[in-house]
Amino acid sequence: MINNFKKIFSSSKPIVIAGPCSAETEKQVLATAHKLKKHSNLIFRAGIWKPRTRPNSFEGIGVEGLDWLKKVTDETGLKTTVEVAKAKHVELAIKHDVDMLWIGARTTGNPFAIQEIADALENTDITVLIKNPINPELNLWIGAIERLQDAGVYNIAAIHRGFFAYKNSKYRNIPQWQLALDLKRKFPDLPMICDPSHISGNSNLIMEIAQKAMDMSYDGLMIETHIDPKNALSDKEQQITPLELDEILNNLIVRNFDIDDKEFKATLKQLRIQIDDLDIELLDVLKRRMQLVEKIGHHKKENKVTILQNNRWIEMLKIRTKYGKENGLSEHFIQQLLKAIHQESIDKQNKVMNN
Ligand code: PEP
Ligand code: MN
């Protein structure tokens, strides 16, 4: 069976799924949709059942919002998509002529819910977009796709929305591009959409992530767009206005993927993007290490202990060098690196002790 998703739009432009995190009022939904309708390759999104991590926040307008989505199509001609998390949602969304369904990150991680959705989708030919699960477990993402395929759903695309970051990071959800690439390796024909909104959690970072996705040949973008982001009832920090979306789409460089002479460059770019991510991870780890060093500094100060404890340093250097060498790093490199880190740690502790 052929996946029809990419055929929906004939243009070579990326598919853009835009609209508010949540449908809040009929007025907000329609006003947003009217501002977005000029984009020929756009699907309108709005969540009406919102899976909130903690209770007592806005949990969506519910089924009433499906009538608003119908109005969106009637008034603007835009296709629509909505998040579904259980069989009842699927049934209601299809009944209200929603064009596509998406499965949220919290649901992809739950095989019971996915199976229930797959069963409800049997014998329908609706397109389903599957977000990556919250935790970086590729098999959960693969499993969700397989469960839908087993139910005869073939119009599937994946949405890469990043993975949970317990510690502070530049991003709300760490992209871990490698996982999306691994999924793509498993399903080479699967269209891949990037969701810079949920990756970044920050409206200022949407452009750079969207561009990265384009440079990695993603098929489309899902970008949360709200008529008045500051007053949004959910995800207000990451939503952008329709005007800001216009600007991003105008500035986005969509490169042609020309296999003949550009394959080499495309691969290089993908690898560099992974390196960029790893470097940020490295810096985040170093930051956390220095925070611990400062804690130790305070502890030593209170107990009147010297900064440099030579035995520990010699032992550390030995163990780390051995570990590094076992993992293919040269002795010279490991020692240079460790010495630089150690020096910085001593300087930090010095400050703590003598301030
Ligand atoms: C959403 O798209 O509004 C949403 C809830 O996303 P996620 O499932 O990626 O958290
Ligand atoms: Mn959201």
pLDDT of residue 305: 84
Residue 259 pLDDT level (bands cut at 50, 70, 90)? low
Q: What is the pLDDT of residue 257?
A: 61
Phi and psi, residue 125, nearest 5°? -115, 25
CATH of the domain at 226: 3.20.20.70
Exposed/middle/buried for residue 204 (C-beta within 10 Å: 0-12, 13-18, 19+): exposed
Q: Is 83 exposed, middle or buried (0-12, 13-18, 19+ CB in 10 A)?
A: buried
| CATH code, domain carrying 329 | 1.20.59.10
Residues 125, 214, single domain; the answer is yes
Give the count of alpha carbons within 13 A of 136, CB side only. 15
Residue 298 falls within a domain, yes or no? yes
Residue 60 banded pLDDT, cuts 50, 70, 90? very high
Give the pLDDT of residue 167. Answer: 75
**Domain end point (choices 224, 251, 278):** 251
Nearest Cα residue to atom 2 of ligand 1: 21
Amino acid letter for position 325: K
Task: Report helix, strand or coil for 16.
Answer: strand
Q: Which residue, judged by its Cα, is nearest atom 9 of ligand 1?
A: 105
Domain boundary among 222, 251, 280: 251
82 CB near ligand 1 (under 6 Å): no
Which ligand lies nearest to the CA atom of residue 195 in the structure?
1
- pLDDT for res 1: 56
Ligand that comes closest to the CA of residue 53: 1
CA of 198 to the centre of ligand 1 (A): 7
pLDDT for the residue numbered 309? 78
Under 8 Å CB-to-CB from 166, ≥6 apart: which residues? Answer: none
Same structural domain, 44 and 94: yes
Among 16-20, 61-65, 255-259, 305-309, the minimum mean pLDDT is found in 255-259
Please give the structure tokens belonging to residue 6: 């990419």
The pLDDT of 138-152, averaged and rounded, is 97
Q: Is residue 326 part of a domain?
A: yes
For residue 4, the model assigns a pLDDT of 72
Q: Which atom belonging to ligand 1 lies closest to the Cα atom of 45? A: 2
Q: Which residues pair with 225 in a beta bridge?
A: 240
Closest residue by Cα to atom 4, ligand 1, is 104
Is residue 33 one of the residues assigned to a domain? yes
Crossing angle (nearest 10°) for helices 26-36 and 64-76:
30
User: Does one domain contain both 290 and 328?
Assistant: yes
C-beta atoms surrounding 271 within 10 Å = 10
- Residue 159's pLDDT is what? 98
pLDDT for residue 236 is more than 90: yes
Are 117 and 21 found together in one domain? Answer: yes
- One domain, residues 288 and 195: no
What is the per-residue pLDDT for 71?
98
Paired strand residues for 34: none
pLDDT digits (tens, 9 = 90+) for 260-284: 667 888 888 899 999 999 999 999 9
Q: What is the pLDDT of residues 153-206, one digit of tens each?
A: 999 999 999 999 877 789 999 999 999 999 999 999 999 999 999 999 999 999
Residue 229: give the domain boundaries.
Answer: 15-251
164 pairs with which residues across the strands?
Answer: 173
154 and 19 within one domain: yes
Ligand 2 center from residue 223 Cα (angstroms): 9
Confidence of residue 353 (pLDDT cuts 50, 70, 90): confident
Check pocket membership of 198 for ligand 1, CB cut-off 6 A.
yes
Among 212, 227, 251, the domain-final residue is 251
Residue 10 has pLDDT above 60, yes or no: no
Per-residue pLDDT at 109 exceeds 90: yes
- The per-residue pLDDT of the chain, averaged, comes to 93
List, in order, residues 6 or more apart from 255 with CB less than 8 Å away: 214, 215, 262
Tell whether ligand 1 has an atom less than 6 A from the beta carbon of residue 21.
yes
Are 245 and 275 in a shared domain? Answer: no
pLDDT at 265: 85
Task: Indicate whether 346 and 318 sit together in one domain.
Answer: yes
Partners of residue 81 on adjacent β-strands: 45, 100
Q: What is the percent of the chain where pLDDT is above 90?
A: 81
Pair (195, 298) in one structural domain: no
Ligand 1 lined by 45 (C-beta under 6 Å): no
Q: Domain check: are 155 and 299 in the same one?
A: no
Residue 257 alpha carbon to ligand 1 centre in Å: 29
Q: Which residues pair with 193 in a beta bridge?
A: 159, 220
Residue nearest to atom 10 of ligand 1 (CA): 105
Distance from the CA of 21 to the center of ligand 2, in angstroms? 4
* Stretch 35-43: mean pLDDT: 95
Query: Does residue 235 sit within a domain?
Result: yes
Distance (Å) from CA 118 to ligand 1 centroid: 19
Compute the C-alpha angle 57/118/123, nearest 5°.
130
* pTM for this predicted structure: 0.77
Cα gap 46→22, rounded to integer Å: 5
Question: Of 185, 191, 196, which Cα lies nearest the Cα of 217?
Answer: 191
Mark out the alpha helices in 201-330 (DSSP H runs). 206-215, 242-251, 259-302, 310-326
Confidence check: pLDDT of 108 > 70: yes
Per-residue pLDDT, 263: 83
Q: Answer yes or no: is 317 within a domain.
A: yes
325 alpha carbon – ligand 2 mean position (Å): 44
CA-CA-CA-CA torsion sign (31, 34, 35, 39): positive
In the chain, the number of structural domains is 2
Residues 194, 90 share a domain? yes
Task: Provide the token pair at 21.
Answer: 């995190």
What is the rounded CA–CA span in Å between residue 338 and residue 325? 13
Within-domain flag for 3: no
Same domain, 73 and 157: yes
Mean pLDDT of 113-131: 96
State which amino acid sits at residue 214: M
Residue 3 has pLDDT above 80, yes or no: no
d(CA 64, CA 95): 13
Is residue 256 in a domain? no
Q: Which of 88, 136, 87 is nearest to 115 (CA)?
A: 87
In a domain, 305, yes or no: yes
